[in-house]
Amino acid sequence: MSSRNNDWLSKILGYVDSPFKLVAIIIMAIVGFGGLMIYKNHDLIVGTYREQQKLPDLAENRLDDAVTHLFRNTQAEVVAVFKVNPILGTRVLYRAYTREGRDRTKEGIDVGLFSSNAANNRDVVALMAGEVPCGEYLTAQSEIGLWYIEKGMKYGCRISIPPDNTRFIGQITVGWKEQPSDLDKMRAMLNIGATMLSREKR
């Protein structure tokens, strides 16, 4: 280490004669480092914000129609609608329903897009590819999964909104007490519901 660096370090150590000054220096260093990172990544931050602004939103004025359609045509026990932001990696429960009606207890919870649960991550990749993953649901993958099981769901299907691989702004999860006899029909009904939530009613 050069003598100039030694002098600089000695001055700092001489200045730090109390715990308060040490804390102040640490805070200033953190703020300075954060500012430097924001400055260096300015283009990335602005680009991410612009891409996020381009994402369409759910067709909220069709939500009741879509949920009614799903309960009527799939005989599901639960229907959950999530808002997804793939740029920020968020997946927030927007609405949750049982046969008795809307359940607000878990709404607003962000379960994240990817997690430490391998089954969840496989389903997310499938959703991004425009697929409709279905399977037994015996172990909760998230806090919302505990709610699914509590409401009697033992088999479920998921679909992205819209139901293709061009964008990913939302997700519908539909659950049953047992596997439906005609999964192709269930996937078709989910596809209709996801399409409804992709297009505003005029």
Per-residue pLDDT tens over the stretch 32-42: 776 667 666 65
Comparing C-alpha atoms, which of 122, 183, 120, 126 is closest to residue 148? 120
What integer pLDDT is reported at residue 9 of this predicted model? 60
* Residue 28 pLDDT: 75
For 103-107, what is the mean pLDDT? 96
Q: Among 16-30, 107-121, 171-185, which range has the highest average pLDDT?
A: 171-185
**Helices marked H in 41-139 — which ranges?**
42-54, 63-74, 118-128
Over residues 88-104, the mean pLDDT reads 95
How far apart, in whole angstroms, are the C-alpha atoms of residue 163 and residue 128? 9
Q: What is the CATH number of domain 56-196?
A: 3.30.450.40
Contact 143, 119 (CB under 8 A): no
Is the pLDDT confidence value at 18 over 80?
no
- Domain ranges across the chain: 3-40, 56-196
